[in-house]
Chain A
């Protein structure tokens, strides 16, 4: 019988300690990434060569891109594949991570932390001497960064950069063309434990550039339902919820609200 706290991990449940994944998501469940777009991603010394059209998979928005960089030898192919699955919840991200792992022939992969790379709520890497692969779940995002070119290169820095993008609270900016959060509201300011409540954020960019959002809370967790962010908590207390609206140029607007959980 499936427990409500289980994450559907399919065939990898026998290969990995997926029960432990639930505890490790304590940080990530209090973060939500919403409406991320490819243009928000940049990696030092890597150049975008291809960006695939966004698609839906298992309820997640999939952003896939290919990057290249010039190696010392110049003509040897260096390629990095980046896939980001923005899922409706942190559980969905763990499920996507299980999906990544289930498509690997390696019977069991080492955790990234065993190679000294602390990223993600849960993260695995390959057995290569070079840190050439990472599969991770952080908040509601499952990510995969792989070196797929002839020249096997480390993807540690880009993976850290991605993880930081999701977990670090950006500093709000002031600029003539800064995004603006016009309103940030919750359906009910006081909710019961376990009650799901929708969050409403209205933001705009003066140049009509797309915006993506990060939500942070000190209590409870986030989810996306009906293409809208939501919040719930199984513990009582006051949740301080912050939202950051970010455009492709890194300009940031911020707002916050409180939800009391009884």
Chain B
């Protein structure tokens, strides 16, 4: 008898994200099929992807489902999976101690957060097939885990009964995305089918979970995403200083696939971006982690202080001194008291943002729009004193552009 593991389902209940994984896809064109792991098809971590929401799974017992073959016809065996990534053998001496510390750091940042698969008895039919069997996960550390990408390696084992030795079946490898909450719009969880290209994309999570690694709350995650989008300039993107045209977020949708191409070093739609692009990228990449940001505008035709546009290093007033509109990633009702995130530009963070020299460049994150002549909030730093009077939030413009 040789028990074999055939498949593993992480997202076995598409109607819930409390006890199992989220509904996801890889990209616009590629769906993540369930079971996420299949024997013979999955060898690397990347071949088996799942995502979990910290908030929704907190205090819940996580379960997976697995299917086995080669078991005793009509009989049963014990099956479990142990965390094989924890088995760092260690070496003596100083080098061994250093390696051990490094291994622990790597484990803390990237290591398994799903714990182990609790032992249970598995029955087999006359053909030695178990069908899908539900397993509880134990030693799960998701609730203590911040945003990130975790790598799980489980060594599956079976034994004939209590007291019998455990026999290894196979080690399975999984890439686990840990997000704060169920992703927010434009990302959706339903309907769950291969045609729904607004299910959260792991191609986006591959960036978001790294950019916001370590984040434990939405504000911090959105701030990290904003910073990382801003520093994409000048290597990947730069502000369109000629016309300030929208490039990736035109005509009501976000050309996310093309933007991902750009991030991967391909042409995409080119390097030019404007505020609408930055607001859309920031909110979309934040919301896949469970943040709740809008793309919303302020307007109109207001005079600007000197700023540093994304991808540039110098303080300048773009165009002829004013913006026809500006767009940011914005919380709540997108009004004066709501916090916003602006990856498109840096403002003067000092006491006199209206006049040079500008001693400190400030990337606006988690800051309220504010009022003119108030507490030196965002609007005071962005606009001239005259411009401030005509720069108002326009929350009726708020939207979350669908991804394509």
Q: Is B134 among interface residues, defined by CB-CB distance under 8 A?
A: no
Q: Is A2 among interface residues, defined by CB-CB distance under 8 A?
A: no
**Quick one: which of B270, B301, B323 contacts A149, CB cutoff 8 A?**
B270
B300 and A79 contact, CB distance less than 8 A: no
Q: Is A68 among interface residues, defined by CB-CB distance under 8 A?
A: yes
Segment at the interface with B among A105-113, A181-189, A196-204, A233-241: A105-113
A146 and B324 contact, CB distance less than 8 A: no
Distance between B287 CB and nearest chain A CB, rounded to angstroms: 22
Q: Bound complex: CA of A50 vs CA of B301, how far in Å? A: 35
The 8 A CB mask of B258-300 against A (1 = contact, 0 = none) is 0000000001011110111000000000000000000000001
Q: Bound complex: CA of A11 vs CA of B396, how far in Å? A: 14
Q: Bound complex: CA of A7 vs CA of B399, how far in Å? A: 26
**Quick one: which of A14, A135, A148 contacts B247, CB cutoff 8 A?**
A148
B271 and A103 contact, CB distance less than 8 A: no
A105 and B250 contact, CB distance less than 8 A: no
Interface residues of A in 230-256 (CB under 8 A from B): none
Which residues from chain B contact A99 at a C-beta distance below 8 Å?
A: 251
A146 and B267 contact, CB distance less than 8 A: no
A133 and B242 contact, CB distance less than 8 A: yes
Q: Bound complex: CA of A229 vs CA of B41, how far in Å? A: 54
B319 and A150 contact, CB distance less than 8 A: no
Count residues on chain A whose CB falls below 8 Å from chain B CBs: 34
Q: Bound complex: CA of A14 vs CA of B270, how far in Å? A: 30
Q: Bound complex: CA of A79 vs CA of B322, how far in Å? A: 27
Distance between A95 CB and nearest chain B CB, rounded to angstroms: 13
Q: Is A23 among interface residues, defined by CB-CB distance under 8 A?
A: no
Which residues from chain A contact B276 at a C-beta distance below 8 Å?
A: 103
**Quick one: which of A11, A79, A130, A133 contacts B245, CB cutoff 8 A?**
A133
Distance between A55 CB and nearest chain B CB, rounded to angstroms: 9
Which residues from chain B contact A50 at a C-beta distance below 8 Å?
A: 267
Distance between B298 CB and nearest chain A CB, rounded to angstroms: 11
Identity of the chain A residue whose Cβ is nearest the Cβ of B251 in the assembled complex: A57
Distance between B26 CB and nearest chain A CB, rounded to angstroms: 20
Interface residues of A in 97-148 (CB under 8 A from B): 99-100, 102-109, 125-128, 130, 132-133, 135, 146, 148
Q: 20 new A-B pairs (CB below 8 Å) besides A79-B267, A105-B326, A128-B241?
A: A14-B300, A15-B324, A66-B270, A77-B267, A81-B247, A103-B250, A104-B243, A105-B244, A105-B275, A105-B318, A105-B325, A106-B323, A106-B324, A109-B243, A127-B242, A127-B319, A133-B243, A146-B272, A148-B272, A150-B238
Interface residues of A (CB under 8 A from B): 11, 14-15, 49-50, 57, 66, 68, 77, 79, 81, 99-100, 102-109, 125-128, 130, 132-133, 135, 146, 148-150, 152
Complex A-B: 28 CB contacts under 8 Å: A11-B300, A11-B324, A11-B325, A50-B267, A66-B267, A77-B271, A79-B270, A79-B271, A81-B270, A103-B250, A103-B274, A103-B276, A104-B245, A104-B246, A105-B244, A105-B274, A106-B319, A106-B323, A107-B324, A125-B243, A126-B242, A127-B241, A130-B242, A132-B242, A146-B270, A146-B272, A148-B271, A149-B267
